[in-house]
Structures are given as C-alpha cells and as structure tokens.
Amino acid sequence: MSAAAAAGTWKLGDLEVNRVGYGAMRLTGNGMLGNSDGPPVDRDAAVRLLHGAFGQGVDHVDTAAFYFSPLRSANELINRALSSWRGDVVVATKVGPGRDPSGEWLPMARPDRLRGQVEENLRQLGRDHLDVVNLRSDGTASIAEHFGALAELREEGLVRHLGLSNVRPHHVAEAQAIAPVVCVQNAYGLDWRRADENGLVDLCREQGIAFVPFFAVSGLRREAAAARERDARVHTVARAHDATPAQIRLAWTLHRGPHVLAIPGTTNAAHLTENIAAATLRLTDEDLTLLDEPDDVDDTDDADA
C-alpha cells in the first residue's frame, strides 16, 4: 500500500482517489502569493516533485488557471508532469475568479465567461475534458446562474464532475438542485473551523460529498507558509507520535471523517513526503480531545520556521 492510500479512498463521482492529494498553488513560486522576491520554481524540479508525489500514491491534484506567477503556471507544470507519467491522476481545477497577465485579480467572471475559463484550463492542461471543475464563489447570495452555466458544459462533455469552493451550506443545496456536487473546498483546519460551526462538514458527509479543506496547515496565515508551530497541544501530540506539527494538523483534518480529503502543497521534497505520511498517523481519542481543547499559543513572535 502506498503512503497516500493509508488513509483510505473516497469517490469524486465515479473517480475513486486516495484521500491525500496535492495542492499545486505553491508550484508557481512566490508570485502567486503577491510577492516577487522569491526564486521561480525550476520546471524540471517541479516535474520531479509531482512524479515523487504520484509515486507515493497521490492520485489527485488541485489546481487553477489563475495559479501562475510571472514565470510559472501550475497547470502547465502539471501538464508536463502528466505527459511523462503513465498512471492515472485526477485533476481538479477552479473557475470563477481570474487574474490579468500582470497578476492582478479580476472580479468574478460572468456566467457566460465561464466557458472561456474552462477552455483555458483545457488548453493549459492539454486535455479534452476536465475531471473536476469547482466553482469558486465570491460570497454572493446565489450561485445558481454560474453553476447552471457549468452544468451545461458538463452536459456537453467538457467537464466530468462539478464541485464548489468558498461556499456556505445554502450554496450546496442550490447547486445540488441543478447538478450533482462531488466536492466542496473551503478553508478549514485546527484553527479555522467555520465549516464546523455552519454545519458544512456534516452536510457534506450526509450527502456523500467530499469535503476538501485548504489552508489545513497554514491555518489563519492562509496563503502564507505555515509559521513555526506555537500550539502546545500540537507539539504534545506530535511528540507522542514522533511526528511533525504539520503532520498532526493534517492527521487531525483527516480524522474529521472518511469524506474529508487533504491537498497540502509544498515545493520541498522532504516536506512532501512528510505531508503524505500524515495519512499513516492514527490519532487516539485522547489526542483528539486534547487538540479540540482551547489552544495555548504564544504569538509574541510570528517568524517562519
């Protein structure tokens, strides 16, 4: 059994995947995060990293056409890696937001512009259809018109399955009335539990929808790299399992239910292996009780590890 398979599998529609995947945003370098002071990710190194992930059992990748920096595109790197890989890998992408060539964010696309975004993903990924397309909401009250436009592309065969990102429970109900929803991507982690508070995690479980958290490791730092761990609870559990704090955070996420997937991203091969190995951790009831207690964080210094 591969490391990524150790946490079991879940189905995105008819596509069965290991619960630990890979998030491709960081493949683009710091430019994606609004900085231009970091070195670009070497293309060959990126392909080796992706092949390393696939070799450890990662069989689904999260990406988007708007994951790019001045010199790198996540979709094109994934395309390059998959063209020289013989195994099957499910690619989930996102539409809705956009960025102009300079990297500036654009408003949410109109429903009639979503076809162009889907076609751009198809071109960049070198595919004739997309496995999963997530509509990323901008927080508007209704997503029906946008999701309906994607449902039409699904009927045409350009998209196999549909999902949602950055949504609330009523959005799921609204979308499900139009077409099946196979996954929901929202910010979620030990320090960011709004999806518990509004019932979204439970709703997905009840309806057989994959819940796919992002920022599970970085937490409140969101797009920024995870800071040096300052949560005493996490350190205590990490020592008990001879694991890293990031592994404990990922393991905690996976323990939220068999429908919860993980898509940690990194450009560091050692961190990649550690992230995938989190699938092998089995937290005890005592571990989970401790982690769910109020935190004990010293935030006097927020320097990165």
């092998």: which residue's tokens?
280
pTM of the model: 0.91
Whole-number Å distance between alpha carbons of 138 and 153: 21
Whole-number Å distance between alpha carbons of 217 and 215: 5
A 10 A CB-CB count for 55 gives 13
Contact between residue 19 and residue 10 where contact means Cβ atoms under 8 Å apart: yes
Q: What is the pLDDT of residue 223?
A: 45
Which of 67, 68, 188, 215 is catalytic? The answer is 67
DSSP, res 136: E
Beta-sheet strands, E only, within 123-247: 130-136, 159-165, 181-187, 210-214
CA neighbours closer than 13 Å in the CB half-sphere of residue 287: 22
Whole-number Å distance between alpha carbons of 94 and 216: 18
CATH number for the segment(s) 4-291: 3.20.20.100
Whole-number Å distance between alpha carbons of 305 and 303: 7
Q: Is 300 helix (H, G, I), strand (E, B) or coil?
A: coil
Pairing, β 181-187 against β 105-106: unpaired
Q: What is the pLDDT of residue 120?
A: 97
Whole-number Å distance between alpha carbons of 153 and 118: 9
Q: What is the pLDDT of residue 196?
A: 92
Q: What is the pLDDT of residue 207?
A: 97
Sorted by sequence, the CB contacts under 8 Å of residue 145 that are 6+ apart come out as: 111
Q: What is the pLDDT of residue 144?
A: 98
Low-confidence residues of the chain, pLDDT below 70?
30-40, 218-228, 295-305
Tell me, yes or no, if 67 is annotated catalytic. Answer: yes
Q: For 126-138, write each residue's pLDDT tens digit.
A: 999 999 999 999 9
Q: What is the pLDDT of residue 298?
A: 46
